[in-house]
Structure 1
Amino acid sequence: MIPMPFGWSFVLLIVIMVLASAIKILREYERGVIFLLGRFWKVKGPGLIIVIPFVQQVVRVDLRTVVMDVPTQDVISRDNVSVKVNAVLYFRVVDAQKAIINVEHFLDATSQLAQTTLRSVLGKHELDDMLAEREQLNADIQKILDAQTDNWGIKVSNVEIKHVDIDESMVRAIARQAEAERERRAKVIHAEGEMQASEKLLQASQVLSQSPQAMQLRYLQTLTAIAGDKTTTIVFPLPMDLIQAMLKSMDVEKKE
C-alpha cells in the first residue's frame, strides 16, 4: 500500500470535518432557521438537514410549550390597595422565522411583556375583583399577551394568577367586612322571618275571631302545654266571655 503524502492527509481531514459540520440533526420538536450569507433563506426540520459551512448558518428553535413563572409584581388596585401578585405563563413558538427575526431573545421579551401586562390589567380592577373574578382576569391577560406576541410568532395559550398576597392589616379589614356582611344577612333573615310570622298570626287571628268556641279551645290547649312545664306559678289570661258568664250566674244566685 502506497502511503498518502502528509499534505493530502491534512486536506482529507479538513474535508471530513467540513462534511461532519454540515450535517445537522433536528429533533421532532425543533426547527432550524437557515440564513444564507446573512439573509433569511428557509426553515428546515425536523430530521437530517445539510448546512453549508461558512455560507449558511442555522439557529435552532424549540417548539415545545414553555412554562414561564412571572415574578411577583407590586400592584396598586383601583381602590388603592397594595398587593403582590405572581402568575404562570404558558406559550409556545408557532412561527420560528418570526421568533428569530422579529424579536431579540423572544423568551426575555415575553417575560417582560407578561410582567407589564399583569401590572396594567390588575391595576384597573378593585381588590374584590382580583379575589373573586380570577378566571376572567386570566382570560383578559391571556388575550392581551396573545395579541401582542402574534408578530413574534408566539402563541400564548394560558395565563394563571397563582397568588395574591395582601398586607396583614388589609386581611383584618377584609375579615371585619365579611363579619359585618354576615351579621347584616342574619338581621335581614330574622326580619323576614318576623314578617312571615306576623302574616301567619294575622291569618290565625282572623280564623279564631270567627268562632268564640275556637278561641276557648285555643286557651285550653295553651293551658295543657303550660301544665307540662316544671313551674309552680302559671299565669294565663281569661276570656271576657267566660268572666261575664260567671258574673251573670253569680247575680242569678243572689237574686234567688
Structure 2
Amino acid sequence: MIEEYIIPILVIAVIILSQSLKMVKEYERVVIFRLGRLSGVKGPGLFLIIPIIDSVVKIDLRVVTIDVPKQAVITKDNVTVAVDAVIYYRVLKPAAAVTEVENYKFATAMLSQTTLRDVIGQIELDDVLSKRDTINKDIQELLDASTDPWGIKVTAVTLRDVSIDETMLRAIAKQAEAEREKRARIILSEGEFLAAEKMRQAAQLYQDMPAAIKLREFQTIAEVAREKNLIVISTSSNTAEIAALSKAFSQK
C-alpha cells in the first residue's frame, strides 16, 4: 500500500526541488520577494527559494546601450537642429531598480530623450557644434543624478550626430566668411596704425633735429646718384653739421 505512494511522493519532491533550486550567472542577480515583501538579493551561483511563497525578478548587471532616436531640438539662439545620441548605463543596485521604478529600462530611455532636449535647448548653436565633450559630460551628470535613486549608473553619453538644414548651413558659411574678412581688416588696420605711428615718430625726430631731414635728403640724392652714375655737388651751409650727425648715426 505504501509502495503505491512512493513514486508520486518522489515526483512531487523532485518538482518542488526543481522549483526551489535556482541558478544565476556571474553578471546576473535575483531580487527575491517573500509573500510580497522584499527578502533580499541572491547570486551569482546556486541558491534555494520557497516555491509559491517566494517570487523572483532577474536583473542583468552588464552595461546597457540606449540608442536615443534623432529628434528636433531648438537651441538657445532659436536654431532647429536634429540630434541623436547613445547612452551607456548599468544597474548597481538591483533591489532599487525593481522597487523604485516600474520599468527601469523604459524610464531611463525616456529620461535620456528629455534630458538631451533640455541640455541642447540651453546652448547656442556654435557651442553645440564645437563643445560636444562638454555637452556629453553635462548630460551624463544630469542623468546619473536622476537615475541614482533607481540604482542606475550612467557610465557614458555620446552625441552621435547634429544635423542642420541647408538654409542654416549657408547662413553659417556666410557668417564664417564675414568673420574671416573682419579679422583680415583688423590685421590690416593694425598694420596701418603701426606704420602711421612710425611715421609720426620720424616726423617728430625731424622736427627736433632739423639736420636729420637734411641728412635724409642727402642719402636719397646719393642713392639716386649711384643708380644714375651722377656727381652731386652740395651748396648747403650746414654740411659740417650734417656730416657730424651722419657720423653719430653710423656709430649707433
Deviation at 1:7, TM superposition (A): 4.6
User: Structure 2: how far apart are the matches of 1:40 and 1:177?
Assistant: 61
User: Structure 2: how far apart are the matches of 1:75 and 1:47?
Assistant: 47
User: Structure 2: how far apart are the matches of 1:219 and 1:67?
Assistant: 83
User: Structure 2: how far apart are the matches of 1:221 and 1:8?
Assistant: 130
Within 5 A, what are the aligned runs for 1:52-67? 52-67=50-65
User: Structure 1: how far apart are the matches of 2:11 and 2:222?
Assistant: 121
Match of 1:213 in 2: 215
2:123 counterpart of 1:121: no
Change (3 A) 1:221 1:159: farther
Give deviations 1:194-215, integer Å, cap 9, x for gaps. 1112223444553695432343
Q: 2:67 aligns with which of 66, 69, 85?
A: 69
Match of 2:46 in 1: 48
Q: 2:191 aligns with which of 190, 193, 196?
A: 193
Secondary structure at the counterpart of residue 188 of structure 1:
helix
2:90 counterpart of 1:92: yes
Root-mean-square deviation (CA), in Å?
2.6
Contact 1:209-1:215 within 8 A present in 2 as well: no
User: Structure 1: how far apart are the matches of 2:224 and 2:50?
Assistant: 107
TM-score, structure 1 normalization: 0.79
TM-score, structure 2 normalization: 0.80
Deviation at 1:123, TM superposition (A): 1.4
2:167 counterpart of 1:178: no
Within 5 A, what are the aligned runs for 1:1-256? 7-204=5-202, 206=205, 210-211=211-212, 212-221=214-223, 245=235
Secondary structure at the counterpart of residue 85 of structure 2:
strand
Secondary structure at the counterpart of residue 80 of structure 1:
coil
User: Structure 1: how far apart are the matches of 2:123 and 2:215?
Assistant: 67
| Structure 1 unaligned residues grouped into runs of 5+ | 228-233, 235-241, 247-256
Q: Indicate the percent of aligned positions where both proteins have the same amino acid.
A: 46
Secondary structure at the counterpart of residue 102 of structure 2:
coil
Give deviations 1:53-72, integer Å, cap 9, x for gaps. 22212211111222211111
How many pairs are equivalent?
228
Give deviations 1:92-146, integer Å, cap 9, x for gaps. 1111111011111211110001101111221122212211232222222222212
Secondary structure at the counterpart of residue 87 of structure 1:
strand
Contact 1:68-1:90 within 8 A present in 2 as well: yes
Between 1:126-135 and 1:159-168, the stretch displaced more is: 126-135
Change (3 A) 1:78 1:19: same
Deviation at 1:30, TM superposition (A): 1.3
Contact 1:98-1:152 within 8 A present in 2 as well: yes
Between 1:15-24 and 1:109-118, the stretch displaced more is: 15-24
User: Structure 2: how far apart are the matches of 1:222 and 1:158?
Assistant: 75
Change (3 A) 1:6 1:173: farther
User: Structure 1: how far apart are the matches of 2:89 and 2:174?
Assistant: 40
Amino acid at match of 1:213: L
Amino acid at match of 2:127: D
Contact 1:77-1:122 within 8 A present in 2 as well: yes
User: Structure 2: how far apart are the matches of 1:54 and 1:185?
Assistant: 78
Contact 1:67-1:91 within 8 A present in 2 as well: yes
Secondary structure at the counterpart of residue 91 of structure 1:
strand
Give deviations 1:185-232, integer Å, cap 9, x for gaps. 0000011111112223444553695432343223444676xx6xxxxx
